[in-house]
A and B are shown apart, each in its own frame.
Chain A
């Protein structure tokens, strides 16, 4: 192989792409798009209906008036008129709705159905909030009737959390949150791999097809070997991918931070609505601050010295493996774009299957399927990065790394054999049988 030629090819592939309008736009617009999406969704989420609903309450128990307090969204008025009168008044827009609370048969009654009369839909959130309020009021009423005070109630309650501890002395101490965080990080890594394989694999395939249909290969082939062109292209596009990822790694956080700032930090404290506020106010849950501290701690406690290099390894391995397969398919397709569907399927399929296995592996990282998929080279680049945060056994990592190296070598070799025949063949529909022949044929 002529290294000088490969370098020239890499440089061409890299610079023509990086300086192209579509690359520059894609690199800048994607983070902006993500930022915009965050902003829009954040904006929509914070736009809760601030209108106060005036509600007439007809309470058959005659006991809730003290306990049902007005809120930001509800103004309650207790009335004793018959239901029909109240309904009429609601119809005449005096009230937004009428809430009828039936009489509890006894204090033991644990389930009641209150009726809300209105022609205006409450909406999911308000409905939830209203039943919550009513439940609280009933609770207070019951407490009073049973003569229980808040203190006694607090004493009864015991908050329990399970803290996993290792048996082996050198084992890693984890908290319940570890698996949650590992799943988050692992899922993100696996998903990035999935995107990378598809986006840049397809980019290589398209570019090989273009070279073939524009007949530039004929010219290039009289100067370089097919394998040089293939490797140069894969490395060049790979470098483009890394450049784009590097830009995004800087731009996306900057833009997200900017969006958050522009919204007055609304994303961080988005739980603005009553429902979530109640959950947050619940003393059983961690307060926001300690939660963040713990997440940071958990993230820091992961073995990044192992995970990061391995992630880079799987990134490169997965990229090379699938890039060479996509290059081979691109060379075999040629002029007829319609064929591409049937020929890309056999390589898209493992990528998609790997994504599903990866998602299953997040729930159960040590299942037999997850373990084997993270060793099988067509799946491992997507599945293994997702499992890394779950601290898989060393032998599995070693087996997976070795098998991916062998796999990359094997599939690149296979692809090169298809590529060098396919790239110069025109006007012929290529069957799988023929592809098989090319792989085996030594000529």
Chain B
């Protein structure tokens, strides 16, 4: 969908994006991650043609990125706002028109979305009379109403209660099913694991990690397993294991390279241990994120 090739952006006093390259698979949900000030927003602004890269190339669906592509892009910025004095309906129609819709088309599509969210009665309300969460919904509609091929969400759930966050999450996965490619920028790592298939991790203007979420988890796994059992612990049962922690009937151990976890489970069962759960502990994205960023930040 998107190919970012050696893209660099320099501001007067710092290098915001330094030769970043990555490829976003078509139809995927990609997490664009990185600590504050890593250059995510600058990168997104270049993808949405708000600013131009100093050097490097961006390909949109195989074509060099041009102004026309923004009609196929929906961008919900982190710092987002609406005209407070405008009425909700007019505002949405205006934004959809700027994305190339005719007034009629815009009205029809917006009504569809507002019906879906059951907020048709907001049409004539002024934006300033809506709560922050309500405005968020309006912003979501304005981002997706023109059926873009590429959607970019920057912290889409900030300020939303769990119910509305779920509502938006469901809509995002629905759009994904319908074929949209989605860039998802966030600091919330549990959301990344839940939603994204692919991630790009940026730190200090550099791309430090990229790949499918599943693969990355495998790459960073430490062969840790967790056993939960009932009954009083009999230490002799676990003597053969490289135990990392053991308390309250929960035991974590490290499995040496080349050994099979099934064998260990079998052994334990044969010894009569009453096992309730046995699972591999994969690193959380939170850990991977912190780990990678710390490794790649020289001045820390």
Given A16-B86, A222-B70, A437-B12, A8 contacting B142 (CB threshold 8 A): no
- Is the beta-carbon distance between B139 and A443 smaller than 8 angstroms? no
Residues of A contacting B54 in the complex (Cβ-Cβ under 8 angstroms): 443
Question: A223–B81 Cα gap in the complex (Å)?
Answer: 14
Q: Are A216 and B85 in contact (CB under 8 A)?
A: no
B85 & A221 in contact (Cβ 8 Å cutoff) = no
Tell whether, in the assembled complex, residue B73 and residue A8 are in contact, meaning their CB atoms are under 8 Å apart: no
* A20 contacts across to B, CB distance below 8 A: 85
- Tell me if A219 and B97 are in contact (CB < 8 A): no
- Is A148 on the interface with B (CB-CB < 8 A)? no
| Inter-subunit contact A218/B79 (CB<8 Å) | yes
> Residue of A at shortest CB range from B77?
A218
Beta-carbon contact of B48 and A219 below 8 Å: no
Asked if A441 and B12 make an inter-chain contact with CB atoms under 8 angstroms apart, the answer reads yes
A220 in the interface (beta carbon within 8 A): yes
The distance in angstroms between the C-alpha atoms of A437 and B10, with both chains bound, is 14
Whether B98 contacts A214 by the Cβ 8 Å rule is: no
The answer to whether A218 touches B81, judged by C-beta atoms less than 8 angstroms apart, is yes
**Contact across chains for B81 and A222 when beta carbons are under 8 A apart:** no
- Select A218's contact among B12, B80, B95, B98, beta carbons within 8 Å: B80
Main secondary structure of the interface of B (DSSP, over half): loop
Q: Write the A1-38 contact mask toward B (1 if CB under 8 angstroms, else 0).
A: 01001001000100010001000000000000000000
- Are B94 and A8 interface neighbours, CB within 8 A? yes
Given contacts A220-B98, A437-B12, contact A214 B48 (CB under 8 A): no
> Does any Cβ of B come within 8 Å of A137's Cβ?
no
Whether A219 pairs with B139 at a CB distance below 8 angstroms is yes
- Encode A418-440 as 1/0 by CB contact (under 8 A) with B: 00000010100000001001000
How many angstroms between the C-alpha atoms of A211 and B50 in the bound complex? Answer: 16
Q: Report B-chain residues with C-beta under 8 Å of the C-beta of A216.
A: 80-83
A215 in the interface, Cβ–Cβ < 8 Å? yes
Q: Is B45 close to A, CB under 8 A?
A: yes
Indicate if the CB atoms of B86 and A219 lie closer than 8 Å: no
Contact flag A222-B48 (CB < 8 Å), given A215-B81, A437-B12: yes
Most buried by B among A8, A214, A216, A424: A216
* B75 proximity list for chain A (CB < 8 A): 219, 222
**B-chain residues with CB within 8 Å of residue A83 when the two chains form the complex:** none
Least CB distance from A257 to B in Å reads 36
Check B97 against A8 for contact (C-beta < 8 Å). yes
B interface residue count range (under 10 / 10 to 19 / 20 to 34 / 35 or more) = 20 to 34
Asked if B99 lies at the interface with its beta carbon under 8 angstroms from chain A, I say yes
Is B70 a contact partner of A223 (Cβ separation < 8 A)?
yes
Interfacial chain B residues near A122, Cβ < 8 Å: none
B85 near A424 with CB under 8 A, answer no
Q: Using known A-B contacts A8-B97, A219-B77, A222-B77, determine if residue A214 contacts B85 with beta carbons closer than 8 Å.
A: no
**A5–B94 CA distance with the chains assembled, in angstroms:** 10
Cβ of B243 to closest chain A Cβ, rounded Å: 50
Residues of A within 8 A of B97 (CB): 8
**Distance between A213 CB and nearest chain B CB, rounded to angstroms:** 8
B84 on the A face (CB < 8 A): yes
Interchain nearest-CB distance for B150 vs A (Å): 11
Instruction: Decide if B51 is an interface residue (CB 8 Å cutoff).
Output: yes
Q: Find residues 199-237 in chain A having any chain B CB closer than 8 Å to their own CB.
A: 211, 214-216, 218-225
A219 to B111, CA, bound (A): 20
Give the docked Cα–Cα distance between A95 and B79 (Å).
Answer: 81
Complex Cα gap A441–B12 (Å): 9
Contact between chains at A16 and B83 (CB < 8 Å): yes
A431 nearest CB across to chain B (Å): 12
Complex Cα distance, B157 from A364, in Å, reads 67
Residues in A whose Cβ lies below 8 Å from that of B51: 424
Residues of A within 8 A of B80 (CB): 215-216, 218-219
CB distance from B251 to the nearest CB of A (A): 50
Residues of B within 8 A of A443 (CB): 10, 52, 54
Most buried by A among B73, B81, B85, B139: B81
Complex CA–CA separation, A8 to B101 (angstroms): 11
Q: How far is the CA of A222 from the CA of B144 in the complex (A)?
A: 13
Binary CB contact string for chain B from 32 to 59 against chain A (1 if under 8 A, 0 otherwise): 0000000000000100101110100000
A214 surroundings in chain B (CB, below 8 A) = 81-84
| B73 / chain A contacts, CB cutoff of 8 Å | 222
Chain B positions within 8 Å of A16 at CB level: 83, 85-86
Tell me, in angstroms, the Cα distance from A5 to B100 when the chains sit together: 9
| Residues of the A chain whose Cβ atoms lie less than 8 Å from the Cβ of B70 | 222-223
Q: Tell which of B45, B52, B81, B84 touches A219, judged by Cβ atoms closer than 8 Å.
A: B81
Separation of A2 and B67 alpha carbons in the complex (Å): 10
Known A222-B70, A224-B98; further 8 A-B contacts with Cβ < 8 A: A16-B83, A215-B80, A218-B79, A222-B48, A222-B77, A225-B67, A437-B12, A443-B10
Q: Can you list 21 A-B pairs with a CB-CB distance of less than 8 A?
A: A5-B98, A8-B94, A12-B94, A20-B85, A211-B83, A214-B81, A214-B82, A215-B79, A215-B81, A216-B80, A218-B79, A218-B81, A219-B81, A219-B139, A220-B95, A221-B50, A223-B98, A434-B12, A437-B12, A443-B52, A443-B54
Nearest 4 pairs of A and B residues by beta carbon: A215-B81, A214-B81, A218-B77, A223-B98
A: which residues have CB within 8 A of B?
A: 2, 5, 8, 12, 16, 20, 211, 214-216, 218-225, 424, 426, 434, 437, 441, 443
